[in-house]
Chains A and B, each alone.
With several copies, the nearest count.
Chain A
């Protein structure tokens, strides 16, 4: 079941840099890794934008997004009480039941967005969390050090370790690695895991139109043929991917 609705904006807050958090009411409890197609009502752009669930609690859906172009810029200008179009939850999400053993979560930049809600859902499994940023870090609190091991890496060493997050994780230490972030980061992680026979799940990104699996605009090549990121993903098992 998915919801196609006008929702009133509860919050649309500037977090830092070009990162914002949008909060809307939503009845449906999403799975971690699922996403929503979001569109302002009076924008001069056509297609809704895919944004992952960042957190969900007590009917409040939180979406963390980076202003990276025209559509997200328009969304960031919307005010509390404005109506916004929210279609979702969409996609497969992570299959929590499969996530057992020693788990690492590896996020990069705005790719950390879906990982907070994932973490909350597998907190009892005490995953280690690796987060990489360019310079400014954001939303670290949620992943809080009292909850699990938190390794923060910035390219300039501003906060935490200096370098790339991929240099600070030894995938062999884990049974399962979960990753979301820039393509190049995910590729490195996936390759390392496949080499070491570590189970790996990645949340993929592709331009979308329908977001529900109808237009075939968002397919990726997998070992089992074309798969739709919006419907068959966005979460894929690394063994299916052709990296």
Chain B
């Protein structure tokens, strides 16, 4: 039994495996299948200031070893979260991460203020949403826009602040460095990659919004590269994700520099994938005579 415990932003994670935002609801559905308190943490469904109904039309599409989604941030809104869903999450003995999105800087700021007084352990700032003031280009594409956003949020944020990078950023190392400089306590990546699917019989894009986000094993080699680049570019800790489906995958991300990791699409492939991954992490460390997972974090 190797030591899987990790300190991350001052919180104790009993293991480095966190359920990824948007793939795990607020934990309750998966808690019907296994005790989600066994996880290192849970990142909530992406929250916005006001509740959202999400996108119309097809929301899911399978691709070779990948999944495209266009949920459109359907969520109950920050206020409902604080009065209701957070209590569900808090009953599981694990870290609660609030994933926060927004279309304007004000959305973020008001949302963070509300969350400041809540019981969330960490705020994960999702900067992949389209920035309505900048003409729909996401906050997470250009490093200077991200810098301004994170800096403003940082000034009022009293929770540990983890910024979630988009793989669609112009330059991952520059983006990572900009967020660190703006005061992020940690980075998480990757969010989904912009992608497209066409229904050739209907002669139209499968998704109403044309493009949708790609996740799953298909993107793993790209995600791993980006996590490695980020970890090299900053001193703050990194939370790695993108296609992680096994203990081997998780170890790759950890060796590439991730202190903790998130598991998204794999939850769909097999509902208790996170438990398998924790077990496989442990077995790998034991088989290699590694007593503490921190020994291999970022060794590449």
Assembly CA distance A218 to B62 (angstroms): 13
Q: Which residues of A contact B24 (CB under 8 A)?
A: 214
Question: In the assembled complex, how far is the CB of residue B225 from the closest CB belonging to chain A, in whole angstroms?
Answer: 19
Chain A contact surface mostly: loop
Closest chain B residue, CB of each to CB of A230? B29
| Interface contact A209-B69, CB-CB below 8 Å | yes
Tell me whether B194 is interfacial, beta carbon within 8 Å. no
Distance of A207 Cα from B71 Cα, bound (Å)? 12
Give chain A residues whose Cβ lies under 8 Å from the Cβ of B25.
213-216
**Which candidate, A24-32, A43-51, A120-128, A159-167, is the interface stretch facing chain B?**
A43-51
Indicate whether A231 reaches chain B with its CB closer than 8 angstroms.
yes
Asked if B226 CB lies within 8 Å of chain A CBs, one says: no
A215 touches B269 (CB 8 A): no
For the residues of B in contact with A, the DSSP-based class is: loop
Give Cα distance in the complex from A208 to B59, angstroms: 9
Q: How far is the CB of B89 from chain A (nearest CB, A)?
A: 13
Contacts A210-B29, A215-B71, A217-B71 given: A4-B269 contact, CB under 8 Å?
Answer: no
Establish whether residues B67 and A47, one from each chain, have CB atoms under 8 Å apart when the complex forms.
Answer: yes
Determine the residue in chain A with the shortest Cβ distance to B267.
A210
B208-221 interface bits toward A, Cβ cutoff 8 Å, 1 = contact, 0 = none: 00000000110000
Determine the distance from Cα of A225 to Cα of B75 in the docked complex, in whole angstroms.
Answer: 12
Q: How far is the CA of A242 from the CA of B279 in the complex (A)?
A: 43
Q: When chains A and B are docked, how far (Å) is the Cα of A217 from the Cα of B65?
A: 18
Distance, CA A37 to CA B33, complexed state (A): 13
5 interchain residue pairs of minimum CB distance: A214-B25, A217-B60, A209-B268, A212-B29, A213-B29
Q: Can you identify 28 A-B contacts, CB atoms within 8 angstroms?
A: A4-B33, A4-B34, A4-B272, A37-B271, A39-B269, A46-B65, A46-B216, A46-B268, A47-B67, A48-B269, A85-B270, A207-B60, A210-B268, A210-B271, A214-B23, A214-B24, A214-B30, A214-B267, A215-B25, A215-B69, A216-B71, A217-B60, A218-B59, A225-B53, A226-B53, A226-B54, A226-B74, A231-B29
